[in-house]
Amino acid sequence: MARRKSGGPGATEIDMTPMIDMTFQLITFFMFVMNFSEAEQDDRIQLPSSQLAKPTEGVIEKPITLQLTNGGAVIYAGELVPVRDIGGYLEREKSVMLDSGREPNSATVIVRADGRAKAGEVQDIIRICQEKGFERFALRAQYDEKR
């Protein structure tokens, strides 16, 4: 109690203003930098880099994202699926689209394939998508101004 009393009228007041200013600036910075986009990104995928892979203007409406890992499995909606089995999932996706009055050829399939994955597996994915009526593809790459 004696200690608290001594901190009373004689206590030195710390000027909090610069600290609060700084903190608010930090919050503003983090708010701007934060990515609220719903883009599905997975750390297991190491995208190949390209200097022409400039970020697309506008938002791709309701895309279907298929991520191909180095091991040849597809990450679809957070689940690991073998390439040959994605047909069933795409069929479901197609029927949902048809129910909402959209044609599968209007949807974009985003292919996020690992740079070390086999090109043939990417082509297999594209072929399966084509068989289900999808024909717009976006091959995703990491933007790198040197390569």
Partner 1 sequence: MARRESQLSEKIEINMTPMIDVVFQLMSFFMCSLKVVAPEGDFDIRMPIAAAAAAAPDDQQVPPVRVKLSAGPDGGLAGIAMNGTPVADFDDLRKRIIGLVGADSGPNSLAEKTEVELDCDYALKYANVVRAITAVSGRVNNGQVVELIRKIKFTPPKKG
Q: Which of 63, 138, 122, 69 is nearest to 93 (CA)?
A: 63
Residue with Cβ nearer partner 1 (2 or 61): 61
Task: Please say whether the beta carbons of 127 and 84 come within 8 A.
Answer: no
> Least distance to partner 1 from the beta carbon of 110, Å?
7
Query: Using CB under 8 A as the criterion, which residues of the chain lie in contact with partner 1 when the complex forms?
Result: 16, 19-20, 23-24, 26-27, 30-31, 33-35, 39, 41, 47-56, 68, 105, 108, 110, 113-124, 126-127, 130-131, 135-143, 145, 147
> Least distance to partner 1 from the beta carbon of 103, Å?
12
Residue with Cβ nearer partner 1 (25 or 95): 25
> Least distance to partner 1 from the beta carbon of 99, Å?
22
> For residues 30 and 32, what is the distance between their CA atoms, to the nearest angstrom?
5
Q: What letters, b where the CB count within 10 A reaches 16 and e where it falls short, cover 34-61? A: eeeeeebeeeebebbeeeebeeeeeeee
> Least distance to partner 1 from the beta carbon of 138, Å?
4
> For residues 128 and 73, what is the distance between their CA atoms, to the nearest angstrom?
14
Residue with Cβ nearer partner 1 (81 or 139): 139
Match 């610069």 to its residue by tokens.
18
